[in-house]
Chain A
């Protein structure tokens, strides 16, 4: 009995899904009710749409309100090929069998995604949403107005099925079913690979993902293609199923929103949420449309009531169930599980003695002469503000260089320019003797630049271990399909977490960590890159003295092993004790560079940053 309950708790979702799939598979054998078959066919279509949308919007976080564009493209590809290109009759009475062209529909949809994706995914947030709507409407208008090819408003009539009448719509039924299985299998596969983990990282924090070496443009484009192909194929099948298509119904914004609603309802970013949402929403849609008037009297349910109903449902889901059914249910189970292991959750931060981490890759790197990092005459403006005004700076190999200066002097902007988060307006940046100022952020990470952020930026929905293994030292197509967390990587991840003293938290969600813990995990994360240069943005900011000492110790340890540091920090005792040389930035310019003693004595530095009484305080502190 208990065993059965345990089985249900652990595999409940899988059992429910298995039951649903088997039911769909054998349903036509049990009942030949055409009405129910229609409901299932339309639910399958919506589930394919939702599953596709989930890849770009659920995994990668780019919310599209124009996903039906691929349904329309697929439908018109099949229709035009079967009627206009291979069809004998220009009135579309008898054309080639549309099923032949369904794979071509998938390819064409994928090509459109490949062409449009990289362009529109240069924008984010609001702009991206608007662009997806624009793409949908532009395609609709093109199809509407290109009457020579599409007959515009008059639409296209496809040939009627040629199979025996008693088969009814079953061929459509099983083809949609097959497409859904393929689509979900692909989602499942993506989710457990490096590719999928990169997409989640992009959703959580795209700039951060790029800074730890994720090739974001390629990831996003592939995600957009993956989200389009099966919808394109489904469009081809759908056109044949409907036997008549027109631009307004094929490129329908309301259906796009319907897809979004299905995923939000079931659970965004999950594998089965979109399917569940579709199999709730579409039956509700069909039953209300067809049965309410029969049950409650004519005129109760019409197009207007339908709009109001689904508008209200959309608002309710956004406001009351923003995460969707599956994640909400999972949360209940998780809470129940975690209440049993509460002791471990509340474990105190415990520092292990430092272990020397094997750093094989480093020795292999040969060192060219000259400074490791060299910045010459870098400018960066924001509107009227000149954040960087001709900054020049050299970081010697093996040094721990400090970058100090008053708030707003451009320290973080300089970091952003060095790691490629934003391009400089002018100037050169060389790393290991090579220009890097035109390279994308992820390529600089591959070269060996790792940086942390002033306010820690971890991928909050991932576990600590996943955060640590997310960085990528290079890009290869083969790696995309590799397991998200492979054995050697997990080992190395644990090793690094042990190094920073956070291994006990490996399984926790990064979002649940405290500020100081986050700093340590972020350090472990960039160590995964095996960086030659580590840039730390206020490593000691806002953390307690014990942790500061711990941080200092780790920096020294890593430096001894050959890692160069560039550190922005306001904690003067730490800077002066740890770093040499020290570089001072004020009003976007380097005003002084030298040993800690030289900097402390420099009149310009005292004036701009440290203040007259700084030296006194220091002396008072020493005695």
Chain B
């Protein structure tokens, strides 16, 4: 029983972090119809930069999120201007291939700068735990989840309350109509992409403490994130949160009751099942697809 509760609680804590990491991917997809396969590599990049800052200056890696977020925002903006901008309106597979190229470049750069060895930021609290009854909760896990929820809340407020948020939602609903009412879709797309990438700043900082990582880890991350957004419904932010929590629990349960080896299979299995059984995901909408072509 304790084992079960432990697995569920751990899964939910992981899920909170996953939700933040998946939010950027789903936001970019929802507005721009681009699957940013490089999102996993960007998370690892943020993790490496967090690790480097911690290693050089002793900056607390979780606090590093504050610095990493604007840094990743700028990187995201740069990526949009140089590459993504040019493939808007091309067939969907183009964006997957292009961003895969980006992921390879980022992986190469990280290997070049930091070498392909396992890294991990280890502040003094990283192996301390809270205990509630029989349940152990790693402090880093709890802090990480709390930060993730905080950043998600900020993101939610930006999307709901600000003009930019309304513009983003308008473009995601209908790009040509948004243009008619004075929203410039390319500005919105640039900002959306930059914000989507900025979420990897905090996400990567948290991941740097929670998991050991190396440049090639991005495949595991992108598979997990794709699993989450496919499960939740591609393009849906609430869907990403629900999908993340479910996937977090599914992974810890598989690791606890079957074997950690098969836990890596969970995201892929989820993707296959969801896309085949309910392609629009849990919270994705089935829109009237026959009207505009």
Listed in ascending order, the chain A residues whose CB lies under 8 Å from chain B are: 63, 65, 119-120, 122-123, 125-127, 129-131, 133-135, 137-138, 141, 144-145, 253-254, 257, 260, 264, 303-315, 318-319, 322, 382-383, 385, 387, 408, 412-413, 416, 421-422, 453, 455, 457
Contact = CB atoms under 8 A, between A and B. Distances in A.
A304 B111 contact: yes
Contact of A257 (B83, B97, B262, B279): B97
Contacts of B268: 134, 137-138, 141
Given A135-B272, A137-B223, A303-B116, A383 B104 contact: no
A253 B220 CA distance: 12
Contact of B109 (A264, A304, A314): A304
Given A311-B108, A312-B105, A122 B276 contact: yes
B96 interface: yes
Is chain A's binding surface mostly helix, strand, loop or mixed? helix
B101 A314 contact: yes
A530 B41 CA distance: 55
Contacts of B87: 318-319
Nearest to A308: B108
Contacts of B104: 254, 257, 307-308, 310-311, 314
Contact of B279 (A123, A144, A254): A123
Interface string B204-246: 0000000000010001000100100010001000000000000
Nearest to A454: B293
A421 B276 CA distance: 19
Given A304-B111, A383-B285, A383-B287, A130 B265 contact: no
Nearest to B271: A134
B275 interface: yes
B93 A129 contact: yes
Given A65-B100, A312-B105, A412 B279 contact: no
B101 A130 contact: no
B112 to A, nearest CB: 4
- Residue from the set B29, B104, B272, B276 with the largest chain A CB neighbour count within 10 Å: B104
Contacts of A310: 101, 104
Interface range, B side = 35 or more
Contacts of A306: 108
B251 interface: no
B286 A383 contact: yes
Interface string B240-273: 0000000000000000000001101100110110
A382 B268 CA distance: 29
A525 B264 CA distance: 50
A127 B264 contact: no
Contact of B108 (A125, A141, A307): A307
Contacts of B261: 144-145
A311 B219 CA distance: 15
Given A125-B93, A382-B288, A318 B101 contact: yes
B285 to A, nearest CB: 6
A123 B105 contact: no
A126 B35 contact: yes
B132 interface: no
Nearest to B109: A308
B291 interface: yes
B279 A311 contact: no
A282 to B, nearest CB: 17
B108 A305 contact: yes
A65 B100 CA distance: 10
Given A138-B272, A307-B104, A308-B104, A421 B96 contact: no
Is chain B's binding surface mostly helix, strand, loop or mixed? helix
Contacts of A134: 223, 268, 271-272
B93 A455 contact: no
Given A141-B264, A306-B108, A319 B98 contact: yes
B96 A65 contact: yes
A131 B112 contact: no
Q: Which 8 A-B pairs have the closest CB atoms?
A: A311-B104, A307-B108, A314-B101, A63-B93, A308-B108, A311-B105, A382-B288, A304-B111
Nearest to B273: A134
Given A382-B287, A457-B293, 7 more contacts: A125-B92, A126-B35, A129-B35, A133-B223, A145-B261, A257-B100, A314-B101
Contacts of B291: 408, 412
9 contacts: A122-B276, A127-B275, A129-B35, A144-B261, A307-B105, A311-B103, A315-B105, A382-B288, A408-B291
Nearest to A455: B293
Contact of B35 (A123, A130, A412, A457): A130
B112 A305 contact: yes
A274 B151 CA distance: 46
Nearest to A257: B100
A416 B102 CA distance: 40
Contacts of B106: 311
A145 B262 contact: yes
Nearest to A316: B101
Nearest to B33: A126
Contacts of A314: 97-98, 100-101, 104
A421 to B, nearest CB: 7
A130 B264 contact: no
A120 B274 CA distance: 11
A314 B95 CA distance: 12
- Residue from the set A65, A122, A138, A308 with the largest chain B CB neighbour count within 10 Å: A308
B124 interface: no
A554 to B, nearest CB: 25
B272 to A, nearest CB: 5
B125 interface: no
Contact of B97 (A120, A309, A318): A318
A123 B265 contact: no
Given A145-B261, A308-B112, A421 B83 contact: no
Contacts of A133: 223, 226
B86 interface: yes
B83 A319 contact: yes
Contacts of A257: 97, 100-101, 104
Contacts of A125: 91-93
A253 B104 CA distance: 11
Given A260-B97, A318-B98, A307 B276 contact: no
A350 B215 CA distance: 64
Interface string B72-105: 0000000000010011001111101110111111
A223 to B, nearest CB: 16
A130 B226 contact: yes
A466 B64 CA distance: 61
A567 to B, nearest CB: 18
B112 A304 contact: yes
B290 interface: yes
Contacts of B102: 311, 315
- Residue from the set B97, B116, B215 with the largest chain A CB neighbour count within 10 Å: B97
